[in-house]
A and B are shown apart, each in its own frame.
Chain A
Amino acid sequence: MASIGTPTQRGCSGAVAGDREAITRLIQLQGDDPAALIEVLHQLQQIEGYLAARSLHQVARQLRLPLSRVYGVASFYHLFRRTPPPVHCCAVCLGTACFVNGALELLAVLELRLAQQARAGGWVLERMGCLGACGSGPVLRLDQGLAIRVRLAPAPKLDAQLEAIGLPPLGRATAR
């Protein structure tokens, strides 16, 4: 299943998962209000990078909600992640404007390119919903940064552009 990411949600934070006191505090800041569950999960993910099972248990206990309710919400929304985030993430925007400007073809190129390099650099390719950056498509999200107007071009030119925006250079992987 595709997932959608934003810079705030895609965790690259150094915090250690399972910091119980931090979770307690952030829930208290929301007034222990069950209606703030989504906001609590957002903040939790920002601290820990993802929603770990034991953290979700703690949220359920502290908000006095059934665990099923907390899991239901955590699994319903695309932006919540229940597994640790990859080291590096390259996400392709599949909004209509990006689609019209060749996002699917770009996705195919990146799939090939990163398949060769999955072991080398820890890069993961994702699909993402429209970011509303439709004026500058096709758009890629590379970790925290956004790369715009990544137009499909002949291989050497596109490779150079992809390298320029931060993807690992192609040579290393193909040489293996």
Chain B
Amino acid sequence: MSKPAPARLRCCDASACRNAGGLALRQALLAARAAAGLQPTSLAIGAVGCLRLCGRGPLVAADGPGGSRLWGGLSPEQAALLVAAAWVDADPPLALASPQASPPASPPTPVPPASAPLASSSDPLASYRLDLSHPFFSLQQPVVLEHCGLIDPDCLDQALAHGAYSQLRRCVRQLTPEAVRQEVRRSGLRGRGGAGYPTGLKWDTVALQPPGPRLVVANGDEGDPGAFMDRTVLESDPHRLLEGLAIAAWAVGAERGYVYVRAEYPLAIARLRRALDQISQRGGFGVAFTGTPWPLRLELRVGAGAYVCGEETALLQSIEGGRGTPRPRPPYPAQRGLGGAPTLINNVETLAAIPPILRQGGDWYAAIGAGNQASADKPASGATTATLGSRGTKVFSLSGAVVHTGVVEVPLGMPLRTVVETMGGGVVGGAPVKAVQTGGPSGGCIPAALLDTALDYEAMASLGSMLGSGGMVVLGPHTAMPELARYFMGFCVEESCGKCLPCRAGTVQLAALLDRFVAGQAEAADLDRLEALCAMVKATSLCGLGQSAPNPVLATLRHFRPEYLAACREEPRWA
């Protein structure tokens, strides 16, 4: 299993491709291999994590001497053809259509991956081939997702063969917690869940609390609609998260921790469970990976459908088995968290970035995207956070009205346009992009005119949106902005925990006001009411959910005000 075979078919087994029939296709491929009389040693067929272009699933990649190829949307009936194609490539003398195996260099014109005429017309699978030299793939820089799509997420040995837990071993055996934290500080890594708090600083805060027990928590309550980065990590490379969390535990002096995952991700939960079982079967993290009696214990906690649990104080309540309601901060969880002990809470993607940072060094990570920073840092030079910059890579989930939907990992500072138009292929049907929604119900939207904005924390915030957790929903010309704002407000009404009044009642009133705009029945004064209420809810809500609930309204008002004005009736209501 761990030895590379001459040829290999990697079948995406993340949930998007599963839903598209990936499991049946893999079974059919195994049957076709047997029917062709091939041995697993000459053609390996295995499940792997996400192959990125989720919208074209089920995806299958073939590796052979001629390089890698990718197909999308195949049905089980085509399994024999695919086995033949993979086998042909594996054996050059037999290769009938292999001159095209190395992708042609035609990046300047954006070619839709599917229709790229790569293989000769006699290739029956030609229309299913996806062009791996397309910017969607070629502009990606996988760091967090480096093993995603290469290894079987259920197989610990494959993860180990790709270096999993080697950094944990190095930390525990050779590095002091302080040295680990220093490397994380140098990397400039910031929280990838949306807030962008410097990770090294958070680790220091927890580590430097008075002596006593500490805890670590991985926040996998990825609730933003349109976001599926954490799910990709959890489904594709669960050991990567566990290694990051274990390193965090070492760096802050914790011996217990939790992984909290939303219940809407059953496959991610199953894979994490299996990964944790594999570790305990080998005697736990200490015995299995560090050769020391380090007694780290990690547990899985599953949510039950509450967006607010992504907020860290609510998350802690939920881990303790209660209603997921937030509490005022300070004290921050880093000071007083689970059971009153200092608790480090990091997002899944943040923790998954830790092993490569330690392997390659913090400076290496900080240099990623640094070339983009020179211009990007300027506008925000006055802000205190400007010195933090936006370094490293970020995973984005690209969806909505875009041609190529899926998961991309790119250096921060890349222009939004590059992701949406060059990689994503713009709007389906060639229509112009109207706007890009980022940051989910807490974020805003960037209008087409500002697509050249760099993807970094400060530049996005200065436009009234946010980099957010990484969900990126492309909007075409047909989406009406007041309707979009109403949609998000409906979400916040549904998800408000009800603890504080501004959020519980304010979101309901905001939704009612927005209803008038959607129906074209608003008065001019409703616009003032809307803005005043937004300001009030933003300023007075207890937690991030309420404080950011007005953001989609404010952002659409800022960039698409004429749509709101057009929804106002001409004459006063009672005239």
Contacts and interface: CB of A to CB of B under 8 A. Distances in A.
**A and B interact physically:** yes
Interface of A: 1-2, 4, 6-9, 33-39, 41-42, 69, 72-73, 76-80, 94-97, 99-101, 104, 129-137, 139, 146, 148
Given A4-B305, A96-B226, A129-B305, 9 more contacts: A7-B266, A80-B304, A99-B225, A129-B225, A132-B15, A134-B226, A134-B471, A134-B473, A136-B16
B228 A76 contact: no
B263 A132 contact: no
B440 interface: yes
Contacts of B222: 132
A42 B301 CA distance: 11
A99 B405 contact: no
Nearest to A146: B19
B120 to A, nearest CB: 30
B305 A36 contact: no
10 contacts: A7-B266, A37-B321, A38-B303, A94-B487, A94-B491, A96-B487, A97-B399, A133-B19, A136-B54, A139-B19
A136 to B, nearest CB: 6
B518 to A, nearest CB: 11
Given A34-B321, A132-B231, A79 B305 contact: yes
Interface string B206-240: 00000000000000001111111001000000000
Interface of B: 15-16, 19-20, 54-55, 57, 222-228, 231, 263-266, 301-307, 318-324, 397, 399-401, 405-406, 437, 440, 471, 473-476, 479, 484, 487-488, 491, 494, 497
Contacts of A99: 225, 484, 487
Contacts of A139: 19
Contacts of A146: 19
A135 B54 contact: yes
Contacts of A38: 301-304, 318, 321
Nearest to B437: A96
Nearest to A3: B305
Contact of B228 (A8, A9, A72, A132): A132
Nearest to A35: B321
A96 B494 contact: no
Nearest to B232: A132
A131 B235 CA distance: 14
A95 B226 contact: yes
A101 B401 contact: yes
B449 to A, nearest CB: 20
A139 B222 CA distance: 18
A41 B266 CA distance: 16
Contacts of B321: 33-38, 73
B320 A136 contact: no
B399 A135 contact: yes
A35 B487 contact: no
Contacts of B301: 38-39
B304 A78 contact: yes
Closest 9 CB pairs of A and B: A135-B54, A77-B304, A78-B305, A130-B225, A79-B305, A134-B399, A96-B226, A97-B399, A37-B321
Contacts of A129: 223, 225, 264, 305, 307, 491, 494
A2 to B, nearest CB: 6
A77 B539 CA distance: 26
A53 B322 CA distance: 18
Given A76-B324, A133-B15, A42 B302 contact: yes
Nearest to B325: A76
A27 B224 CA distance: 32
Given A34-B321, A101-B400, A136-B57, A42 B304 contact: yes
